[in-house]
Structure 1
Amino acid sequence: MTIVLTFMPFAVGIMDNDLRQLLAQVARGDRTAFAKLYDVVSGRLFGIIGRILPRAELAEDALQETFMRIWQRASSYDETIASPMAWMATIARNQAIDLKRRSAERLAALASELDETLADESPDPESLAGQAGDLRRLGECMQGLPNERQQLVLLAYRQGFTREELAERFKRPVTTIKTLLRRSLIALKECLDGAR
């Protein structure tokens, strides 16, 4: 069985003229033209964004921001500088890169905050007695976490597994492991604070 793939070239002349007209209408605040522009180019722009941001939810956020920028900047489009599609693709690419950078910075800040929260401070002998009660409360709070998150917390903070090791063991992305650990610690802190 032979599969034949047909390639429909992007009709540059016709499509560019249509896109120019749509952008001109969008620049005048025409919401119908904006909706049509979205229908015509969103798939293509999502593909560009998806190469930079493989996680669908981040790519969708970047696409939304891209169209907000297109709406805001349609009046600044200059056809002597770029084709309409190239102009919009540049906006999409820049939004994806910005979102990727912001996400990486946010994750780094969260990881740093998490590391500071969990800094090892050796207790003095007087506080050891009080820790027995704290450990009992911690055990009760741990029971409130889903089983997988209990395992993550114990492996990470009791046995010293790295996030990468946990990601491999649980077959999850490292960013998901970081998020689950952070949420688990927040839940434990809230539980412990409520128990006092």
Structure 2
Amino acid sequence: MGTGTETDEQLVRAIGHGDQQALARAFDRYAATLTRYAWAVVESRMDVEESVQDTFLTLWQRAATLELPADTMLPWLLVVCRNHALNAGRKQARRRGVELPEELRAPDDHAEAVERLRWVRDEIAALPETDRRICELCLLEGHSYAEAAQLLGLSVGAVTQRVSRSRARLRKAVMHDEH
């Protein structure tokens, strides 16, 4: 079955049965989105790459028992990626002798993780229309900046600038997450 018609539920079930090719298809589908998301949480390329890899390792390990709360695995992947990125941030903080505040510590259970991800949807929804649409296209749907620019009739530079501004806003929200 091609990636275009294979649902996330089907992918998760195949991964749960040990299908490495299904994991590769999930990676192809979501790695770029998770990479962009991880950059909003951590600052080093190595930490971003490690967070994304660890997210897919977690998917591999938990797929057999994973129940998707929606038709997509993206919210679950984003929560897991955020937790791995925060772990990377904690490692960096320990190296520098800095303690992270309680609200930035990883949640203990899936329900809490889903609730804590609510801030992402809220922050994106609060953006001006064009910025919101750019985030949806690039962050959630995985389009490149060039594709988003073409779809919205903007220059790539304008999309890049707006993404940078939105990323800063999301990073600020992560640092002040009170949900």
| Higher helix content, 1 or 2 | 1
TM-score calculated relative to the size of structure 2: 0.48
